[in-house]
Structure 1
C-alpha cells in the first residue's frame, strides 16, 4: 500500500519561489519555531499552546503565538482579547498584545471575525491562503519563539503548515490519558516521524483531578498505554497536567497570564515543558 504522506507531498513549484522567499524573509528574525498539535480535538491543545507562549514570555523571551486552528479559535478567549481589533503597519498585521508589560504577540482568525458566533466556512484553498498570510503578512519581528497552535488531526492543514515552514525546532503532542485517544497520539507521532519533525514530547492533559478537600491527585484513567507510545517513538511524557476547577475558571475569564504567575500543581508540572523547550532551542543553535 502506498504511503499516503508520500502521495500528497508538495512538488517544487518554480513559479512560487518568490512567495517562498517573501515568507521566509518575514520569518528571518524568528529564532525558534515550535508547533503544538493533537491527533483529535477537545484535548486542550490550544490551552497548552497558550500556556507555553505565556510561560516563555514570563521568562523574559519575545514570543509570538499563531492560532491556526481556524474552526476552533479559542486563543483570544484564553487571553481575554476576544473582540479586539487588529491594527496594521503598512501592509502588515500587528499581533495583539494581551498584556503591555509582556513581550507576547497573538494572531488568531478569531480576532478577524465580526463576533464569536461567526463560523469559518472555508474550503481548503481559502484556509491554505490564510495560513500563508499568518506567516507572510504579519509583523512578527524579532522573536525568540514562535509557537503555532495547529488544527487538530494530521490532515491537509497541519501538513501544509509543516511543509510551508522551514527549520521547525520540534512539536509537542497534546492528549488526554484515555485509551480512546491513544491511537490518535500514535498517529500524530508517526506523522511527525514521516515529516522529519522532532517530537519534543507528549503533554497529558486532564490527567487526574485534584481533590478540593485534601489537594491529593486522583488518577482516573490507565497510564500505561501513553508511556509505551512515548517509548516506542523515542520521546517522553513532558508533563501530566491535572484537571483543576480554578484553572477552568481562569480560562473562561481570560486570565491565562495571571494563572501562569500563580502557584498550582498544574503550573508547577508545566514548568518542565518550558524547561525542555528552552533546552531544545539551545541545543539547536
Structure 2
C-alpha cells in the first residue's frame, strides 16, 4: 500500500507533551496548502490526538476491496488521515493493549490503508523508542524514508530525553531532517512580542551537540491555539503570524532536498 507514497516523513520525540501531533497536523496542512497531496498517519495508539486536532472525531474508516479507506479532511481529498481514534467507539476509551497487539495494528496501518498516490506521508509517532517505532521502521524497510523531524521543547529535561531519540535514529538508520524547538517563547496577543517563558536555546544546543540541522523555533501563540481543534491551517488563516512563517520554512526544508 505504500507503493503509491512518494515521500515518507516521521515526526519523532523521546518525550511526550512536546507537541508532535500539532507539528504533524500543521505540517500536513501546510504541505496541502502548498499544492501537495498528503497523508497523515497517527500511530500514537494510546493517545491519538490527530482526529481531534483536525476536527474529524465523528468520522469513520471504511473498508474497501483494496483495504482501509482513510478519512479525508477536505472536500478535494488532498489530505487523507488514518488513526486508531476513528476505530474507537468512544473518544474516552483507553487502548489497553500489550505490545504484540499494538504491533499488529501498526502493521495494518502501514500495509492495509489505501493511500491513493500521495506526495507526502507524515507519520505522527508516540513518545519514546519502543515497540511502535521499531515496527514502523521494520515495515518501512522496502520504502525510502526521507527522514525524521525531531521535536523538542527548550527545557534541559526535554532535551535530555530527545537526545535518546537521536540515538535511536542513528542506530536504526533513519536520516534526520532536523530539529524543531516547539513552545519556544510566548507571543503576546496585544503587542506580538515573543517572551521566553521557559528556558531558551535547548533545540539549538541539541542540534550543535549531535551535528544535525536546526530547522525552526515554534512559539506559543494564542491565535494558533484557537485553531487547535478546528482542523484549520495556520498558514491559510493567519499567514502573517510567526508560526505561519515557521511552517512555511519547514515545508521549504522538507521539499527542497527532494527537488535537488
Q: TM-score, normalised by structure 1?
A: 0.86
Aligned to 1:235: 212
> CA separation of 1:66/1:255 partners in 2, compared to 1, >3 Å: closer, same or farther?
closer
TM-aligned CA deviation for residue 221 of structure 1: 3.2
Aligned to 2:232: 256
Q: Does 1:185 align with 2:199?
A: no
Please state which structure has a larger fraction of its residues in strand. 2
Partners of 2:36 and 2:226 in 1: CA distance: 27
TM-aligned CA deviation for residue 280 of structure 1: 2.6
Q: Is the 8 A contact 1:169 1:280 kept in 2?
A: no
> CA separation of 1:188/1:113 partners in 2, compared to 1, >3 Å: closer, same or farther?
same
Aligned to 2:197: 220
Q: Is the 8 A contact 1:57 1:102 kept in 2?
A: no
- Aligned CA RMSD, in angstroms, stands at 1.4
Q: What are the Cα deviations for residues 213-270 of structure 1, in whole angstroms up to 9, with x where unaligned? A: 2111112233344322201222122111111112112113x2333x330221111122
Aligned to 1:80: 55
Q: What are the Cα deviations for residues 76-109 of structure 1, in whole angstroms up to 9, with x where unaligned? A: 0111110211122214111111111350100000
Partners of 2:104 and 2:215 in 1: CA distance: 33
Select 2:139's aligned residue among 164, 175, 186: 164
Segments of structure 1 that go 5 or more residues without pairing to the other structure are 1-25
Q: How does 1:174-213 map to 2 (within 5 A)?
A: 174-213=151-190
Aligned to 1:52: 27
TM-aligned CA deviation for residue 115 of structure 1: 1.5
Number of aligned positions between the proteins: 256
Select 1:70's aligned residue among 45, 50, 54: 45
Segments of structure 2 that go 5 or more residues without pairing to the other structure are none
Q: Which moved more, 1:231-240 or 1:61-70?
A: 231-240
Aligned to 1:19: none
Select 1:147's aligned residue among 122, 126, 130: 122
Partners of 2:72 and 2:83 in 1: CA distance: 12
TM-aligned CA deviation for residue 132 of structure 1: 0.6
Partners of 1:155 and 1:241 in 2: CA distance: 27
3-state DSSP of counterpart to 1:32 = strand
Larger Rg over CA atoms = 1
Q: What are the Cα deviations for residues 106-156 of structure 1, in whole angstroms up to 9, with x where unaligned? A: 000001101111111111111111001001111012111111001111112
Q: TM-score, normalised by structure 2?
A: 0.94
Aligned to 1:281: 258
> CA separation of 1:225/1:80 partners in 2, compared to 1, >3 Å: closer, same or farther?
closer
3-state DSSP of counterpart to 2:44 = coil
Q: Is the 8 A contact 2:41 2:81 kept in 1?
A: yes
Aligned to 2:78: 103
Q: Is the 8 A contact 2:107 2:135 kept in 1?
A: no
